[in-house]
């Protein structure tokens, strides 16, 4: 419950960067849902107006509609003012691992269309090096599962097929996810990101390098801001 409170604090701090009239990217996962709810409350209270949002998953879309956030698409708004999303790992230089919520493909699409990306997290997500706390998700088309698995092994990973209730987890785009574990973390994330994307069958990976401008991290000592101020 304490961790959930930290997630809420980080999310509610981050949404203060949103202004009326903006197009907002809404992330996916247990931390991002607090940002969706906080934004919905600001709209209901009248403190914000004429906001439209683009969700990164069907689950986020349902929650946004529940709290009264008008939704739009990238076709209608190809440029997003502010994106807010969680992360599974955050380094001091704001490199991230994302995707344990299963929406890494849409999350990266939204992030790259965003003028300003704010990542939110509780303090347990801070790491000195990527890959030491969370696995790296790699989204793969089902047809290429075994060849991509073997290729990831050749890169030093231990890939594990993500499952839910005994069945392979299927993303909103109909793909599977291989969660890649590294015994000593990822020594060269940029090299690994480039190497993974070279393999046919790989759709996307969860390395978000140099994409976040601000991190809002909540913990026992309060709110910590990394990168640009809100």
Residue 47 confidence (pLDDT)? 97
What integer pLDDT is reported at residue 1 of this predicted model?
Answer: 75
Asked if the 2-124+209-220 domain carries CATH number 1.10.1760.20, the reply is no
Catalytic positions are 107
Tokens for 205, please give them: 């990976």
Give the pair of three-digit tokens for residue 38.
Answer: 């906080």
Q: What is the pLDDT of residues 105-147, one digit of tens each?
A: 999 999 999 999 999 999 999 999 999 999 999 999 999 999 9
**How much is the pTM?**
0.96
State how far the Cα of 202 lies from the Cα of 151, in Å rounded to an integer: 10
Domain ranges of the chain: 2-124+209-220, 136-203
Q: What is the mean pLDDT of residues 93-101?
A: 97
Same fold, 2-124+209-220 and 136-203: no
Distance CA 25, CA 13 (A): 16
Name the residue with tokens 């809100």.
230
pLDDT at 165: 94
Q: What is the three-class DSSP state of 152?
A: helix
First to last CA, the chain: 26
Q: Looking at the predicted structure, is the pLDDT value of residue 177 above 80? A: yes
pLDDT in tens, 184-224: 999 999 999 999 999 999 999 999 999 999 999 999 999 99
* Residue 225 pLDDT: 98
- The CATH T-level fold of domain 136-203 is Alpha-Beta Plaits (3.30.70)
- Which are the contacts of 2, defined by CB distance < 8 A and separation ≥ 6? none
- Round the average pLDDT of the chain to a whole number and report it: 97
pLDDT in tens, 45-67: 999 999 999 999 999 999 999 99
Per-residue pLDDT at 79: 98
Q: What percent of the chain has pLDDT over 90?
A: 100
């Amino acid at each position: 419950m304490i961790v959930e409170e930290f997630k809420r604090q980080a999310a509610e701090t981050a949404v203060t960067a949103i202004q009326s009239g903006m197009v907002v990217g809404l992330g996916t996962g247990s931390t991002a849902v607090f940002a969706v709810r906080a934004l919905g409350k600001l709209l209901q209270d009248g403190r914000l107006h004429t906001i439209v949002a683009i969700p990164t998953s069907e689950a986020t879309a349902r929650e946004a509609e529940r709290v009264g956030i008008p939704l739009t698409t990238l076709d209608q708004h190809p440029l997003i003012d502010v994106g807010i999303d969680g992360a599974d790992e955050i380094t001091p230089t704001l490199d991230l691992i994302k995707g344990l919520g299963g929406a890494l493909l849409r999350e990266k699409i939204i992030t790259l269309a965003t003028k300003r990306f704010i990542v939110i997290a509780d303090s347990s997500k801070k790491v000195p090096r990527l890959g030491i706390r969370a696995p790296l998700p790699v989204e793969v088309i089902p047809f290429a599962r075994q060849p991509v698995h073997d290729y990831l092994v050749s890169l030093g990973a231990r890939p594990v097929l993500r499952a839910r209730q005994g069945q392979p987890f299927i993303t909103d785009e109909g793909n599977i996810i291989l969660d890649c574990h590294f015994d000593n973390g990822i020594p060269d994330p940029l090299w690994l990101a480039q190497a993974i994307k070279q393999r046919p069958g790989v759709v996307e990976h969860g390395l978000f390098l140099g994409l976040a401008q601000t991190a809002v991290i909540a913990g026992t000592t309060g709110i910590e801001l990394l990168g640009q101020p809100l």
